[in-house]
Structure 1
Amino acid sequence: MAVVLEYAGKTDIGRVRKNNEDQFLIADLTKQLRIVQTSVSGSQFGEWTTNSTAHLLAVADGMGGTAGGEIASGLAIETLSWYVARTMPWFYRYQDGREEDLECELVKAVQACQETVAETAAGSHFRRMSTTLTIAYVLWPRVYVVHAGDSRCYLHRGGRLMQMTKDHTVAQRSLEQGIMTAEQARASVLNNTLWNCIGGGGEGVSPDVYHATLQPSDELLLCTDGLTRRLSDDAIGSILKRASTPEVAAGALVGAANEAGGEDNITVVVARLRAALQSAVTPPDGVAVLQAV
């Protein structure tokens, strides 16, 4: 089955901060063959490019003071893009039995981000700069999510918003260990303290990995905590349900978070799936056709 994936991203400084330390990424992954030279006379083939076969979505929330956080999140997104482009072309097809290999490579991509940020921090004035990183790799009909920090990935299906990732905060860990109640965890200053992220002067990163089988009409939301600390899951789900397009949804989510105070940078990536007939027409920007092969 072919599906159309519509997507949009938006980042906003908010109403309090002096600069934006968030970053996001939306990337189409394609296969391309370009003939440089051939002995075939009268050749009419010179270049083949497939439709998008996979998509890479990511958000990163930098920390470490003014320029430090912005540098860390930018480095993470750049390194992720480089790693996927350089080392993962063979993952552009869905293959049963190879999912563990794919997940391992995505974890290595996050670890490459850790190395880049740590090396840069060691030679700069921002030695403790750090960033969250939440990645969704869409390879129809599967999605693979790799995550470190307290940015989030949600799956919106049938009007229900489900959080796929777990916040790597000390408060969340205390909640899981029974040390705090949910109410205490939400109010605690430890809700702002991460035990797992990229950089920060730590020895390494321990990303979580999740996967799910997607359905037409599913929607993915990646966001930084500038959204989730201002809006409840019910409010987020309601906005997604009402929005006519991912672009409208992204704008509405950022606007609602700002109306609720806008105390932090706000970044969202919205990707919506729907069944589609095969078409030879090139899709417009913000839309891509995916097909399991």
Structure 2
Amino acid sequence: MRVCTSAGVATMSVTVESAGSTDIGRVRKNNEDHFLIADLVKQLRVTQTSLLPSEDGGWKAGVTGHLFVVADGMGGMSGGEVASGLAVETISWYVAKTMPWFYRHQDGREVELEHELRNAVRVTQDTVKDAAEHSRFRRMGTTLTLACLLWPRIYVVHAGDSRCYIRRGDTLTRLTTDHTLAQRAVDEGVLTASQAEAAGLGHALWNCIGAGQKDVTPELHHTTLQVGDELLLCTDGLTRRLTDENLLAILKRSDSPARAVKALIEAANEAGGQDNITAIVARTGQVDDPNATKTHTIALSRAV
């Protein structure tokens, strides 16, 4: 989706073109992944007034931010699909209900914004946990990786082993840390990466939404973007099949987010497709003529 975003007080206009897709892969019988791409819009909807309408037909602002979410469910049968869908739905509800706090970064209250992002994950944990306790999917759970783009800042909050990357030129940087026992063992120097994987710790999560866990520990990162930066959010069905070098090469040679997403999923399937695969790619760019008409392209799909 391509939209025009104001770059703070600067006169430069920035486009954010994005696309997402999820695929069942070549082995699994159902798709337990879900994703979301949404625009954040400030708007006052006038139902009645004695005033004449403004020249642009109303009191509203254009797109001022973007929300990207991926969730990878777990729990067997349809439990994972329920958990990941409920997580994405809860995040959507939370953001819609509490929209004003998304703009606190604009007046220096970034800490409050970060607190609310963490709280959004905790509310999601409570929702999934409660649903699990009242259903036959008692162990259902999901990863959750959320990126909120409020140009030029990007805020990423995360639990599990789905990932968020930033590509800047020839460099691909991972913002998130895998919340697996394997990664923890490597970080603590107990095992090497190959030893941890051989021990079967790569699939064991110590931090996620639901899955019988009492609490969740949201991990949060923020950074400042530059025009031309590209975001990749994805589930481990992609990153367990493709190396970071593979991901970078595909992103670099793809001329649009939609083609990048398609190529990433195809490559993961060609490498075995042993899990569900979900990817979101968002690419920023500069508009030479801020008054020019913006095109809108949508490339959202779910392969089941």
The verdict on a shared fold, with TM-score over 0.5 as the criterion, is yes
More displaced 10-residue stretch of structure 1: 184-193 or 106-115: 184-193
SS at match of 2:62: coil
Report the residue type matching 2:46 in the other structure.
Answer: I
Contact 1:6/1:246 (8 A) holds in 2: yes
TM superposition shift of 1:281: 2.1
Contact 2:105/2:113 (8 A) holds in 1: no
TM superposition shift of 1:95: 1.8
Separation in structure 2 between the aligned mates of residue 241 and residue 39 of structure 1, nearest angstrom? 54
Residue segments in structure 2 that go unaligned for 5+ positions in a row: 1-11, 300-304
Contact 2:148/2:154 (8 A) holds in 1: yes
Q: 1:144-293 counterparts in 2 under 5 A? A: 144-277=155-288, 278-279=290-291, 281-286=293-298
Separation in structure 2 between the aligned mates of residue 123 and residue 66 of structure 1, nearest angstrom? 17
Report the residue type matching 1:127 in the other structure.
Answer: R
TM superposition shift of 1:207: 0.8
Residue segments in structure 1 that go unaligned for 5+ positions in a row: 288-293
1:290 corresponds in structure 2 to: none
Structure 2 CA distance for partners of 1:256 and 1:95, relative to 1, 3 Å: same
TM superposition shift of 1:97: 2.5
Report the residue type matching 1:67 in the other structure.
Answer: S
Q: 1:7-18 counterparts in 2 under 5 A? A: 7-18=18-29
- Residues 63-82 of structure 1 deviation map (CA, whole Å, 9 limit, x = unaligned): 00121000000000000000
Contact 1:29/1:92 (8 A) holds in 2: no
Q: 1:67-86 counterparts in 2 under 5 A? A: 67-86=78-97
Contact 2:104/2:112 (8 A) holds in 1: no
TM superposition shift of 1:106: 0.6
Separation in structure 1 between the aligned mates of residue 32 and residue 122 of structure 2, nearest angstrom? 20
2:53 corresponds in structure 1 to: 44
Contact 1:231/1:257 (8 A) holds in 2: yes
Structure 2 CA distance for partners of 1:11 and 1:249, relative to 1, 3 Å: same
Separation in structure 2 between the aligned mates of residue 280 and residue 51 of structure 1, nearest angstrom? 14
TM superposition shift of 1:38: 1.6
Contact 2:14/2:286 (8 A) holds in 1: yes
Separation in structure 2 between the aligned mates of residue 98 and residue 275 of structure 1, nearest angstrom? 27
Pair 1:31-2:52 in alignment = no
SS at match of 1:30: strand
Pair 1:22-2:22 in alignment = no
Report the residue type matching 2:252 in the other structure.
Answer: K
Separation in structure 2 between the aligned mates of residue 91 and residue 193 of structure 1, nearest angstrom? 33
TM superposition shift of 1:127: 0.5
TM superposition shift of 1:94: 4.2
TM superposition shift of 1:286: 4.0
Runs of 4+ in 1 over 4 A off after TM superposition: none
Separation in structure 1 between the aligned mates of residue 118 and residue 218 of structure 2, nearest angstrom? 7
Report the residue type matching 1:230 in the other structure.
Answer: R
Separation in structure 2 between the aligned mates of residue 96 and residue 232 of structure 1, nearest angstrom? 40
Contact 1:174/1:185 (8 A) holds in 2: yes
Separation in structure 2 between the aligned mates of residue 274 and residue 124 of structure 1, nearest angstrom? 45
Separation in structure 2 between the aligned mates of residue 154 and residue 259 of structure 1, nearest angstrom? 22
Normalised TM-score (structure 2): 0.91
Report the residue type matching 1:136 in the other structure.
Answer: A
Normalised TM-score (structure 1): 0.94
Contact 1:216/1:274 (8 A) holds in 2: yes
TM superposition shift of 1:93: 6.3
Separation in structure 1 between the aligned mates of residue 15 and residue 197 of structure 2, nearest angstrom? 38
More displaced 10-residue stretch of structure 1: 181-190 or 75-84: 181-190
Q: How many pairs align?
A: 285
Separation in structure 1 between the aligned mates of residue 13 and residue 292 of structure 2, nearest angstrom? 12
SS at match of 1:126: coil
Q: 1:123-162 counterparts in 2 under 5 A? A: 123-162=134-173
Contact 2:104/2:110 (8 A) holds in 1: no
- Residues 174-225 of structure 1 deviation map (CA, whole Å, 9 limit, x = unaligned): 1111110122123331110000000011111001000010000100000000
